[in-house]
């Protein structure tokens, strides 16, 4: 499955993790502003960043029933600036439904990078993972993430009040979905 990685866009490279990504990965995961509306613990331990980097660097991409993280690298600088997780069949709906979660370092936010990543990556996953639907969920206090998903074609769904208890507080979340056939149609045009 690594045959289509890395994926290059005008400004970015979407690629598998390398061991040396741990420091950069830790940098944005351990940033209070980046971590605010996420499920990972904060402060984020360096040991966890090293563990994830090593695991992802050695793991075959996109195993069914698991999450697989990719690095987002700025082409101009060569620096890792974010990550995107692909949950292949991790929901009760199982295979064919792919969850998407992402984070960007503070310096990479507001530049349209994640919209660019989603547009390049998601269509390439449809055939090999037999994707019928992509899903994402966001904390309602993070409307910028909702705008990113809507620009990528996701449709805003149901609001779930007090769905998750994270970092000592209840969080309301909104579901987003994207029918994979709409991407397949768009990519042929």
**116-140 pLDDT per residue, tens:** 999 999 999 999 999 999 999 999 9
Euclidean distance between the first and final Cα of the chain, in Å? Answer: 25
pLDDT score, position 159: 83
Which has the minimum average pLDDT: 10-14, 34-38, 71-75, 177-181?
34-38
- Average pLDDT in the 76-93 region? 92
* pLDDT for the residue numbered 119: 97
Q: Looking at residue 187, what is its pLDDT?
A: 46
Would the pLDDT of 15 be above 90? yes
In terms of CATH, what superfamily is 2-188?
A: Gcn5-related N-acetyltransferase (GNAT) (3.40.630.30)
Alpha-carbon span 177 to 155, nearest angstrom: 5
Tell me how far apart the alpha carbons of residues 96 and 4 are, in angstroms, rounded to a whole number: 19
Neighbours of 62 (CB within 10 A): 20
- CA dist 134 and 15 (Å) reads 20
What pLDDT was estimated at residue 184? Answer: 66
Q: How much is the average pLDDT of 37-62?
A: 94
Task: Work out the percent of the chain whose per-residue pLDDT is above 70.
Answer: 96
Confidence class for position 2, pLDDT limits 50, 70, 90 = low
**For the chain, what are the domain ranges?**
2-188
Question: How buried is 154 (Cβ within 10 angstroms: 0-12 exposed, 13-18 middle, 19+ buried)?
Answer: buried
């Amino acid at each position: 499955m690594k045959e289509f990685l890395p994926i290059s866009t005008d400004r970015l490279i979407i690629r598998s993790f390398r061991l040396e990504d741990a420091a950069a990965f830790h940098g944005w995961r351990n940033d209070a502003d980046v971590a605010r509306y996420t499920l990972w613990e904060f402060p984020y331990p360096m040991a966890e960043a090293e563990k994830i980097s090593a695991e992802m660097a050695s793991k075959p991409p996109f195993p069914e029933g698991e999450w697989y993280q990719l690095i987002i690298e700025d082409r101009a600088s060569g620096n890792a600036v974010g990550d995107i997780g692909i949950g292949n069949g991790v929901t009760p709906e199982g295979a064919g439904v792919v969850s998407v979660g992402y984070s960007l370092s503070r310096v990479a936010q507001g530049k349209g990078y994640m919209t660019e990543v989603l547009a390049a990556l998601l269509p390439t996953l449809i055939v090999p993972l037999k994707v019928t639907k992509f899903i994402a969920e966001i904390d309602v206090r993070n409307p910028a993430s909702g705008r990113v998903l809507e620009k990528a074609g996701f449709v805003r769904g149901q609001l779930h009040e007090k769905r998750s208890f994270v970092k000592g507080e209840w969080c309301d979340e909104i579901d987003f979905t994207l029918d994979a056939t709409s991407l397949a149609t768009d990519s042929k045009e």
